[in-house]
Amino acid sequence: MDYLLSWENIDNDGHSFVSGKRISTSCLPELDYGITNKKQRCLILYLSKRFSADIKEIDKLHLSLKFVKSQNAIVLTLKDLMFSNLFDDLIHSIYKEIHDKNEDKIIVQLFITTFLKWSEFFEDNNHSKMTKNEVQGLFGELHVLHQLIKNNVDNIDTLLSSWRGPYKEPHDFAFSTVDIEVKAIQSSKNTISITSEQQLENHPDKGLIISVISLNDDYLTGQTLKNKVEKIRQSIVDFHGDYSLFYKALSELELTSQNVSIYNNFKFTVISDRQFNTQIDNFPKLTSKELPKAISKLKYNLNLEQISEFEIERSYCVS
């Protein structure tokens, strides 16, 4: 990212509709960030004078978008500072889409499309609070996602799309050659729970790995869900990924970068991170293919000591 948003260096005395700064001289379109005369943060896209457009105003709870004819500019305004960090991410996403474009029609289409895609992340969710076990499970999935990103920086958007846990799909991560099922447990436990006969069922053409993340409650130096979300967000920035893929997955869990902080009372330290290959012959598992049709909704535990022979060298490099 070749720019820095310095909001504290912009002021509006109330006489100007907007006071702003150019985001970057390397951005082909004239894209400014600024403060409106109502002291609201905004993003301004100035269009060439030869371009005319009939752009209808879009007014949402925390965002608005309108075309200012006198400036021949599109102004995207944040109405609630509670979403300021998310707004910065939206700006980055728009910048990424349009910075190298020079045709107004394409630039406007990309600007509005990106705004509409992101606007759902600025909604107030009626969030059903998670239990500690659910928080622990999500912490484990975020840990694995972060490890995947660090080890596969050239495929970050593919990695973000591979996270399927929030969508209630059979496995937590799905790739072309392997799926990963994540089990986050307290380090004092020696078993993992298999919650259905489908959970260890693999696709015929790819493998299935169980990642067991052992955690300790650590209220002094541990990490929270918010810490994990921020680390992943920074990795997406560093490796030029698409934020919206990550925020879309969080929204499936009714989480935002704001309300995730309600779980700050849960803090964990990762003690170990182990992987087991369920495709090795004689791995103990019960799947729907092996069960009589009369049996369903199966749940059972696997003892980690008893499956130690199936443990493999930990690797988060995927293809």
Provide the pLDDT for residue 126: 66
The verdict on 149 and 270 lying in the same domain is yes
The verdict on 97 and 178 lying in the same domain is no
> Where does a domain end: 72, 94, 122?
122
Domain enclosing residue 293, as ranges: 134-312
The verdict on 241 and 179 lying in the same domain is yes
The verdict on 180 and 288 lying in the same domain is yes
DSSP for residue 301: E
- Which of 254, 246, 253 has its CA nearest to residue 90? 246
* Residue-wise DSSP of 103-116: -HHHHHHHHHHHHH
d(CA 77, CA 69): 16
The verdict on 162 and 68 lying in the same domain is no
Instruction: Find out whether 74 and 67 touch, Cβ atoms under 8 Å.
Output: yes
Provide the pLDDT for residue 315: 86
Q: Tokens 């012959």 map to which residue?
A: 281
| CA-to-CA dists, residue 71 to 44, 65, 101, angstroms | 10, 14, 20
The rounded percent of the chain whose pLDDT value lies above 70 is 98
Domains in the chain: how many in total? Answer: 2
Question: For the segment 232-272, what is each residue's pLDDT rounded down to a tens digit?
Answer: 999 998 898 998 999 999 999 999 878 899 999 999 999 99
Q: Which residues pair with 207 in a beta bridge?
A: 178
- Which of 172, 140, 142, 176 has its CA nearest to residue 158? 176
Q: What is the pTM of this model?
A: 0.83
Residue 129 lies in a domain: no
The verdict on 100 and 147 lying in the same domain is no
Residue 2 lies in a domain: no
The verdict on 72 and 152 lying in the same domain is no
Q: Which residues pair with 173 in a beta bridge?
A: 163, 180
In this prediction, residue 316 has a pLDDT band, given cuts at 50, 70 and 90, of confident
In this prediction, residue 147 has a pLDDT band, given cuts at 50, 70 and 90, of very high
Pick the more confident residue, 13 or 245. 245
Per the prediction, the chain carries an average pLDDT of 92
Residue 125 has pLDDT above 80, yes or no: no
Residue 163 lies in a domain: yes
Residue 105 lies in a domain: yes
Q: Residue 208 is encoded by which pair of tokens?
A: 């299935």
Provide the pLDDT for residue 203: 82
Residues 6+ apart with CB under 8 A from 154: none
Provide the pLDDT for residue 319: 63
- Sheet of 311-312, strand order: 173-174, 178-186, 207-217, 268-277, 311-312
**Distance from first CA to last CA of the chain, Å, rounded?**
26
The verdict on 103 and 186 lying in the same domain is no
In this prediction, residue 103 has a pLDDT band, given cuts at 50, 70 and 90, of very high
Instruction: Find out whether 232 and 246 touch, Cβ atoms under 8 Å.
Output: yes
The verdict on 112 and 247 lying in the same domain is no
Residue 18 lies in a domain: yes
Residue 124 has pLDDT above 80, yes or no: no
In this prediction, residue 1 has a pLDDT band, given cuts at 50, 70 and 90, of low
In this prediction, residue 290 has a pLDDT band, given cuts at 50, 70 and 90, of confident
The verdict on 111 and 34 lying in the same domain is yes
> Where does a domain end: 100, 122, 144?
122
Residue 128 lies in a domain: no
Residue 1 lies in a domain: no
Residue 162 has pLDDT above 70, yes or no: yes
The verdict on 139 and 220 lying in the same domain is yes
Residue 318 lies in a domain: no
Instruction: Find out whether 289 and 118 touch, Cβ atoms under 8 Å.
Output: no
* β-pairing verdict for 173-174 and 178-186: antiparallel
d(CA 277, CA 313): 10
The verdict on 147 and 273 lying in the same domain is yes
